[in-house]
Each structure stands twice: as C-alpha cells, then as structure tokens.
Structure 1
Amino acid sequence: MNSLKVKNFGKAKVFLPLPYLLGLQKESWSSFWERDLAELFQEISPIRDYTGKELELWFLDYKLDEPKYKTDLEAKQNNDSYEAALRVKTKLVNLKTKEIKEQEVFLTDFPLMTERGTFIVNGVERVVISQLIRSPGAFFTAQTIGGKNYFGAKIIPNRGAWLEFETDASGFIGVKIDRRRKIAASTLLRAFGVDKDLAIKELFSRRGY
C-alpha cells in the first residue's frame, strides 16, 4: 500500500518522537494497585472500636481473584464489567482477651484496565480523564450586593466531606455538606457538641482581634 505524502508548512525540520500516550494511564493504574492501595490500608490500620480499648481490625494483605471474563472483549459482548474480586486478609484483635482471628474477606469488585488504557463498565468502554481539583484548605469569600456584605467560606479537607458556609440578607448562616441541602450552621455546631444556645452565641459574638 502506497504511503501518503505529508506536506509540512512549519519551519522546524526536526521532529520530536511521539511519546507513548497510554503510558500515563497505565502507570497511574499500576501505581494505584501496587503502592497506593497498600499505603491506604496501612494508613487506616488499625480500625478501633469507639472506646479504643476492645477491638482492633488490621488490614494485612490484598489480592485479586481471576476475573469473571478472560478478556475485556468478552465482558463487553455480555454487557458486563471487566473486573475481579478484591480480597483482603484481615486480623481482628481482642484487646481484652488477646485473642487474634485472621480471615480473608471480600472487599469489592476491582475494575481492570484494558491494554488500551480503558475500563469496561456495564459493557461500555470508558476512560478516566485527569482533572484539576481544589487544594485542601480554608477559602473565604466576600461580596457586596445592594449595599450589604455577604460572606462565605469553604473548608476542603484532604479526604472527606466539603463544608460550605453562606450568609444571606437576614443574617442567616447556612452550611452545605458535600453540596447537599443547606442547613443552619447552628445545627452543625450542635452535632459537634456545642448544644447550648448561650455557647453558640458566644462563638459568634463580636470581638476585636
């Protein structure tokens, strides 16, 4: 088959080699499976009961079962997901009796990446797109509308729920948790243990700094 001639209108005569474009996707998935997942289990281990004096749950090791389908094409043809069962070896320690139990448990169905750097979800081929995310921290806003000042704040943790505080014309302070329905900020404070009206008013009293 004859190759097509390409007309170059650029000034550069030297061309850089085309990189392996799937490398980023594959390396990211491989890093997550081989290192990041292990670091996550180490970070949350041990999980203790609410007293911290009776039980401890440790995550020791993890592995994947053989996938339900031998190839991603087979999963696609059956309108199913290309995945494998993720099993974790756990250790439960009774701090009172010193009894230790180890057991392998099913955690979730873990998606497998195809050779094309994609995933098969319910028979549909999908790709994970890198995106920019907000850095964790506290962000404050202020704006003037109709001569009135409105203030807001966002608390973005490294992991967990976002908190978004807003004020309105009546002086109401509301908060959204993970961008859900707005509730009174006092309701959130009561959930944190500040359950007395006087204590809440003290938190919002005018003070000089």
Structure 2
Amino acid sequence: AIFGEKAREIRDTSLRVPHGEKGKVIGVKVFSRENNDDLPPGVNQLVKIFIAQKRKISEGDKISGRHGNKGVIAKILPEADMPFMSDGTPIEIVLNPLGVPSRMNVGQVLEVHLGWVAKTLGIRVITPIFNGAKEEEIEGALTEAGLPKDGKTILYDGRTGRPFDQKVTVGYSYILKLAHLVADKIHARSTGPYSLVTQQPLGGKAQFGGQRFGEMEVWALEGY
C-alpha cells in the first residue's frame, strides 16, 4: 500500500525489461527538472538504464562496409571449408560481385586493394573523401608491396582443394555489424489481434501482427 496519497492519483508506470530480453547493465543516467534536463511535459525525473548483450553473429544478421555495401549473412561455414589463398590463408568473408556495378560504389574495391597493401607493408593509409588515392597510386602501392598489380589472386576451394577457374580480388576491408539482428526480427503468428475498423490482422511484431500480403506477394501465388 502507498501511504499519504490517494491511490487514484498515482499509478505504477515502471518500465520492466521486455519478455525474453537479458543483458548486463552498462550504465544508468538520471535526468531531472532541477538539472534543467530536457524532459517531456509532465515528467519531473527520468532514469535511463542501458543494457548490453554479447551476440554471436548468425545467418540473417546484417553487416555493412563503409560504402553503403550492406547485406545479410547467407551462410556461415567452418574455416576449413572457406576458400583459401596459395599460402593457406583462409578467406573470412565472401561478397557477391553483383553488388558493385549497378550501385557504382567502386570505393569498396579500392579499399580492399589498399587494405591488402597496408597489411603487407605494416603501414596506415589515409584517403580523405574527394582527395583519396588514385587508381594509379594504388597500382603502384600494390607493386611496391610485392602484390599482384590487379589485386587478384588464385583461390582454392576449401572443400575440394582445387583452384577456382578465375582469379579473385582479395584484401582487407572494414566490415561493421549493424544493429539489425535476425533474432530480434523473427516473428510468427497463428491467430491474434485484429483491427476494430477493418477486421484485418494488426501489423508489426510489437502488436503480434500478421504478415502483409501485398500485390507482389499475390502475384507470386497467382504465378504459382
């Protein structure tokens, strides 16, 4: 019971960790009117608690380079099954070359070349936007590092050990893990809440909604 106040004037609006969430508290921040913090109307004090989790990367997680070259992981293989170079170094990530021509973000290819040079020579490279390394400079750097001028090398199939038909561009590149994890996005429903007006299922994971069947999905069924 709460003393000194009428029960109807106050309510418990405590925020609890959502069902199925867990983690480690990495920070607590307190905001209040007295400290002139920016608070919504009618709020005198606000406490923010930050919870962190370590997540192993999984298929369906979203990753990105620094050139808008984002995508989701299609398959995770044992290191032994990944393609490897002549000296036995296994490749860590294989990207689809079809992601480059139509988007015209060629910087990602040049970054891979320069990254290989930087790793081989043990140097750091800075290429400011609009004033970065020219292709000729990169070719020269590759030659200086004793690497193939075109930045390509023969790769071998990790499962058969046989070389691939064509040479493949390899190198080093920054890859970032984005906060779009498949475990947070997965959603399914059988029956659930419906909209009062349209009598159709609600939308979205938060509302335990249904999958929207748009025109194109209907066409797929019709075509089948």
Tell me the TM-score normalised to structure 1 length.
0.29
Structure with the greater relative contact order (CA < 8 A, sep ≥ 6): 1 or 2? 2
Tell me the TM-score normalised to structure 2 length.
0.28
